[in-house]
A and B are shown apart, each in its own frame.
Chain A
């Protein structure tokens, strides 16, 4: 293990978390990411037993998950493995595929709320996507206040917003501002 101490995308030692009424926005720092692209003519593998989802989809199983990012390309997520060489682990699971380490390419904010409507109300202020694109088990990439983000609807009560790591401060600011402005009944 290295003796270098990592910092979060927001520049702190520990992950940031804040409640806004019924909404909670929590920075996730232990999520490992690696992209998986198929080589020409290759069939989709099943890394960690995951069936890679179709366009617009997100699938999870036993701490690993994957979402579709482009034709023939997925992002594979693994909880709690951010400091490992997860790309190498994925490569072993998906031989022949093009694997690229992406863990620190992104900052992930997990937004949770008991009420699905408040997640949707928040997104209405931020992204121009039909809520149908944000139903459970979907992942979409879109623009959010001039930033490119992935939105992953992990469950009725959880929506992850993944943005470029170097934009973490701006993304947090945007999310927090919108969350604070949501009327309490939302």
Chain B
């Protein structure tokens, strides 16, 4: 597979390490009353869609950027890739 790195262009997937669902970026607020339940969901429960999936890839043998890659798990088509840091910062900006 080729991962379209937003800064470096297409790079072979072998340069990357896969983590999983991008929902891992949404770490629950530890001060919530139900924090333990929220963390339990966060740690153990993931969607596993046949289709479009937003997921985390680490450019380990590259620039060490974490990317949010949108991939169709059925066709392996990659619909986009963003720097996770940008995604995180813009999401926080919206909140």
Contact = CB atoms under 8 A, between A and B. Distances in A.
Interface string B45-67: 00000000000000011111100
Chain B contact patch, size range: 10 to 19
A143 to B, nearest CB: 4
B61 A71 contact: no
B63 A142 contact: no
A66 to B, nearest CB: 15
Interface string A126-149: 001010010000001111000010
B14 A70 contact: no
Contact of A70 (B11, B12, B15, B63): B63
B83 interface: yes
A56 B7 CA distance: 8
Interface string B1-35: 00000011111101100000000000000000000
Given A142-B11, A142-B61, A148-B61, 20 more contacts: A55-B7, A55-B8, A56-B7, A69-B63, A69-B64, A70-B63, A70-B64, A70-B65, A71-B63, A71-B85, A128-B12, A128-B14, A128-B15, A140-B8, A140-B62, A141-B62, A142-B62, A143-B14, A143-B15, A143-B61
Interface of B: 7-12, 14-15, 60-65, 83, 85
Interface residues of A, number: 14
Nearest to B64: A70
A133 B10 CA distance: 10
B8 A56 contact: yes
A141 B7 contact: no
Contacts of A148: 60-61
A71 B67 CA distance: 12
A141 B64 CA distance: 10
B63 A141 contact: yes
B76 to A, nearest CB: 18
Interface in A107-163: 128, 130, 133, 140-143, 148
22 contacts: A55-B7, A55-B8, A56-B7, A56-B8, A69-B63, A70-B63, A70-B64, A71-B7, A71-B63, A71-B65, A71-B85, A130-B10, A133-B8, A140-B8, A140-B62, A141-B61, A141-B63, A142-B11, A142-B15, A142-B61, A143-B61, A148-B61
